[in-house]
Structure 1
């Protein structure tokens, strides 16, 4: 019997109210319904920032309430450290997974042996950026183009080369730094246009306007880290 493919899915959540809690649960529900669980097993870890919910566990997940102060990369690193599958998917909570999305990415990994990282196609966002659905793969490192920071699917092995995600980013610019790191190390990334995961327009962030206060310092750090390096496709802005 062919063994299941296991994928560790790490989802960040900040369920400050019932509406945001439902957004996270919808994300999980659509994920679990998206693939045949006899073929693909999702090991779902939710990093929940709303400490008052503890010890609540979202259905079909291990829900963690970190004691550390929030940081997008910090929380993702915790999730990576407590999981062990060959494949890892780093996710926002405001996503809707369409049937077969993971299968399509796995097909691309098997077809293109040097592909280390991928993002699925958002049917709301990517057509506006000039991409066509079901039109093959689009290699590249541009944030919000080929690199959809709200959903990054990667081979765990790349962390042996990249090290942990840079925890200097609390929220903003995390995807830019990820993209630049892959480009610097020549680790190939692509947008998979047959894998559909819709991003529901930052539902959580819209209700957390205070996050904007930290943006300036994170853009400054990104520029300081990368602008002296010259490479096509750099995503410092």
Structure 2
């Protein structure tokens, strides 16, 4: 039997979002023969107001720390005891045999250490003729930050997820970390998982989203593009002033 630790990040602010998380868990459990593949599911729940609620067939953890996408992935990884870890959003529909397809690809190429599924909605709209195994590091194409499976051993090479990425550009940071360390990543076409599209984030206020984007982009440019701390501070100030101006204009118009 193959064990896969599943780490699901959830923010259950309302009943609708709770149902999305439950759908993710239920489709996951139906997707594979439990005698062949065992999923050990850990939900990292951001809303501590619903504690001690436990999602069915999971262990549900309520961190005391303030949410950060990479921070919560690191918490999940620390609780992992299996050789394979899959990090997931809570807005997914798993299709039959998705994990088997990833494992088959890994068996075909043992150097593959990070594998991502195929989304029938997103990938189906792309102008690519996908092979079964699609190597590379293109965000959304070869690497899908909403669901990716790794060999736990690569954490010894990459280190923990960079917790300065709180949400936006976290996927870019990890795919570039894999590329920098010359670790093989691929999207597997027959591993089908539908991503319903950031249901939790879309429920946040627009101004909060903008702050997450700008802060993430400033640090992304510092780490992966210009490597200049002075420019990083300048970008942060520039984006902060821009946000303040937009908020002031909205209040004045109202």
Match of 1:41 among 38, 52, 60: 38
Structure 1 residue aligned with 2:52:
55
- Give 1:30's aligned residue: 27
TM-score by length of 2: 0.86
* Shift in Å, 1:60: 0.7
- Larger radius of gyration, structure 1 or 2? 2
Q: In the aligned structure 2, how far is the partner of 1:36 from the partner of 1:113?
A: 23
Give the distance between the partners of 1:165 and 1:27, measured in 2 at CA.
23
Residues 126 and 132 in structure 1, CA contact (< 8 A), matched pair in contact too: no
Aligned residue in 1 for 2:196:
200
Q: Going by fraction, where is helix more abundant, 1 or 2?
A: 2
Deviations 1:40-97 (A, max 9, x none): 0000000001111100000010000000010000001000001110000000000000
Corresponding residue for residue 233 of structure 2:
none
For residues 219 and 65 of structure 1, what CA distance do their matches in structure 2 show? 28
Pairs aligned (count): 225
2:9 to 5, 9, 12: 12
**In the TM superposition, what is the alpha-carbon distance from 1:201 to its structure 2 partner?**
1.4
Q: How does 1:93-104 map to 2 (within 5 A)?
A: 93-104=90-101
Aligned match for 1:227, one of 225, 249, 252: 225
* Runs of 4+ with >6 A deviation: none
User: Which SS does the other structure have where 1:177 is aligned?
Assistant: helix
Paired residue secondary structure (2:210): helix
> Is 1:218–2:201 an aligned residue pair?
no
State the alpha-carbon separation in 2 of the partners of residues 86 and 131 from structure 1.
Answer: 32
Question: What residue is the counterpart of 1:234 in the other structure?
Answer: none
Aligned positions of 1:64-83 closer than 5 A: 64-83=61-80
Q: Secondary structure at the match of 1:227?
A: helix
- Report the counterpart of residue 153 of structure 1 in structure 2: 149
Alignment of 1:80-159 (within 5 A): 80-132=77-129, 135-159=131-155
Q: 1:108 to 1:88 in 2, by over 3 A?
A: same
